[in-house]
A and B are shown apart, each in its own frame.
Chain A
Amino acid sequence: MRQILLSHGGGGKETQKLIKDLFFKYFSNPILEKMEDSAVLEINSKIAFTTDSFTVYPIFFKGGDIGKLAIAGTVNDLTVMGAKPLYLSCSFIIEEGFPIEYLEKILTSMSKEMEKSQVKIVTGDTKIVPKGFADGIFINTTGIGKVIYEGISAQNLEEGDCIVISGTVGDHGACIMAQREGMEMDSNIESDCESLWDMVEKVINSGVKIKAMRDPTRGGLSAVLNEWALSSNVEIEVEEDKIPVKPEVQGLCELLGFEPYTLANEGKIVFCVDKKDVEKLLTVLKNHQKGKDATFIGKVISKGKPVVILKSPYGTRRVMEFPSGELLPRIC
Chain B
Amino acid sequence: MSKVDFLKDFRDSKRIKAISEIIYKEADRSINIMEICGGHTHTIMKYGLSQILPPFINFIHGPGCPVCVMPKERIDHAISLVQDEKNILVVLGDMIRVPGSESSLAKERAKGKNVKVIYSPFDAIKIAKENPQKNVIYFAIGFETTTPMTASLVNFTIKDQIKNLFFHVNHVLVPPPIRAIMDSKEAKIDAFIGPSHVSVITGAKIYDDIVKSYGTPVVVSGFEPVDVMESILRIVRQFKERRREVEIQYTRAVNFEGNVKAQQLIDKYFTTRENFRWRGIGDIPYSGLKLKEEFSYLDAEIVFRDILPSKQVDDHKLCICGDILKGIAKPYDCKVFAKACTPENPLGACMVSSEGACAAYYKYGKLELTL
Contacts and interface: CB of A to CB of B under 8 A. Distances in A.
A150 interface: no
A315 to B, nearest CB: 7
Nearest to B39: A257
Contact of B17 (A182, A183, A314, A321): A314
Contacts of A257: 354
A214 B274 CA distance: 58
B366 A321 contact: yes
B48 A317 contact: yes
A205 interface: no
B286 interface: no
Contacts of B354: 257
A325 interface: yes
Interface in A298-328: 305, 307, 309, 312-319, 321, 324-326
Interface in A146-195: 182-183
B367 interface: yes
A316 B52 contact: yes
Contacts of A183: 119
Given A182-B119, A325-B343, A313 B7 contact: no
B13 interface: yes
B344 interface: yes
Contacts of B17: 314-315
B51 A316 contact: yes
Interface string A100-138: 000000000000000000000000000000000000000
Contact of A314 (B16, B46, B363): B16
A183 B119 CA distance: 7
A324 B367 contact: no
Given A250-B7, A254-B7, A257-B354, A315 B51 contact: yes
B135 interface: no
Interface in A254-295: 254, 257
Contacts of B47: 312, 316
B334 interface: no
Interface string B112-143: 00000111000100000000000000000000
A202 B52 CA distance: 44
Interface in B332-368: 343-344, 354, 363-367
Contacts of A254: 7
A314 B52 contact: yes
B328 interface: no
A315 B52 contact: yes
A318 B46 CA distance: 7
Nearest to A185: B119
B20 interface: yes
Contacts of B106: 326
B370 A325 contact: no
Interface residues of B, number: 28
Contacts of A325: 343-344
**Interface residues of A: mostly helix, strand, loop or mixed?**
loop
Nearest to A235: B370
A316 B7 CA distance: 18
Contacts of B187: none
B52 A324 contact: no
Interface in B261-279: none
Contacts of A241: 13
A241 B16 CA distance: 14
B224 to A, nearest CB: 10
Contacts of A317: 48, 51, 367
A305 B364 contact: no
Contacts of B46: 318
Contacts of B367: 307, 309, 317-319
A319 B47 CA distance: 11
Residue among B20, B48, B49, B365 facing the most chain A CB atoms (10 A cut-off): B48
A67 B130 CA distance: 32
B370 A316 contact: no
Given A305-B370, A307-B370, A316 B123 contact: no
B344 A324 contact: yes
Given A254-B7, A312-B13, A324-B344, A318 B364 contact: yes
B13 A321 contact: no
A215 to B, nearest CB: 25
Nearest to A314: B13
A312 B48 CA distance: 9
Contacts of B118: 182
Contacts of B97: 326
Contacts of B48: 312, 316-318
Interface of B: 7, 13-14, 16-17, 20, 45-49, 51-52, 97, 106, 117-119, 123, 343-344, 354, 363-367, 370
26 contacts: A182-B118, A182-B119, A182-B123, A183-B119, A241-B13, A254-B7, A307-B370, A309-B367, A312-B48, A314-B14, A314-B16, A315-B17, A315-B51, A316-B52, A317-B51, A317-B367, A318-B45, A318-B48, A318-B364, A318-B365, A319-B365, A321-B366, A324-B343, A324-B344, A325-B344, A326-B106
Sorted nearest first, the 8 A-B pairs with minimum C-beta distance are: A316-B48, A313-B13, A314-B13, A319-B366, A316-B51, A314-B16, A314-B17, A318-B364
Interface of A: 182-183, 241, 250, 254, 257, 305, 307, 309, 312-319, 321, 324-326
Given A319-B365, A321-B363, 17 more contacts: A182-B117, A182-B118, A183-B119, A257-B354, A305-B370, A312-B13, A312-B47, A314-B14, A314-B20, A315-B17, A316-B47, A316-B51, A318-B48, A319-B366, A321-B364, A324-B344, A325-B343
